[in-house]
Amino acid sequence: MKKIYVTLKDLAEFYKIDKELMTDYLLDKKYLKKENNLLKITDKGSGAGIHEVNGKYGKFLLFDKSMNLYDLIRFRKYGSDNKKKKGDKYEQFIAKYYTNGGYIVRYNGCEEGSEDNSIDLIAVNKNEVLLIQCKNWSFDWVKKNNKFITNKDIKSFYGDALNYVEKNKHLKEWKIKYIFVCSSPIFSKDAIAYMKNEGRVDFLIKEMKLLNPKQ
């Protein structure tokens, strides 16, 4: 029987999953490993039908469709779960950043669920309240998929934040700041121009690093 192969990109597009999340899955399952920031196929991965070839535009990881490819449909669930974990870790990192700056931080997204989910963190000190949205997106993925944060995204966050303040009127006694935090420079030019010109929303680019009290 002739083997039929598909690329990692093909699988990601077919199952509508972020390629990076699929790569994370294969790394977790020890089918792939990273050496000097390059993906390498492990013995386990090779035995499962993964191999590497030189294509017209470089190297591609191929998967043998004749075998049950790790129950591919599970990629969708894994991708969703892993994306949430990635976001939660970044929120913890940003919360630590503000805690080290003297703020008391509340995880609003976790506590409120889908309600008020534009506001991930609320940071309070004796002078002000910060309403914060966090995005842990890689620049390469955003650039490739043209998913930059636009002025519409900023306006949506600001509108949701104003609604939150209106529902929690005690917050009006404080100086309130609205902050959009990203792990990489993924703001579009119009988003940056809007924030600078309107002065309603501040932005912070804070790369995810190991949690460290000195950071």
Tens-place pLDDT, residues 146-174? 889 999 999 999 999 999 999 888 888 88
pLDDT > 60? residue 210: no
Res 59: pLDDT = 65
Res 27: pLDDT = 81
Average pLDDT on 32-47 reads: 84
Give the pairing type, strands 128-135 and 32-35. Answer: unpaired
The residues, any chain, with a CB within 8 Å of residue 177's CB and separated by 6 or more, are: 128, 129, 130, 131, 202
Give the Cα separation of 82 and 207 in Å (integer): 19
Select from 1.10.3720.10, 3.40.1350.10, 3.10.20.340, 3.40.630.30 the CATH code of 84-205. 3.40.1350.10
Whole-angstrom Cα Rg for the chain: 21
Res 56: pLDDT = 60
pLDDT tens digits, 85-131: 777 888 999 999 999 999 999 988 654 444 456 899 999 998 899 99
Residues of each domain in the chain carrying CATH 3.40.1350.10? 84-205
Residue 215 banded pLDDT, cuts 50, 70, 90: very low
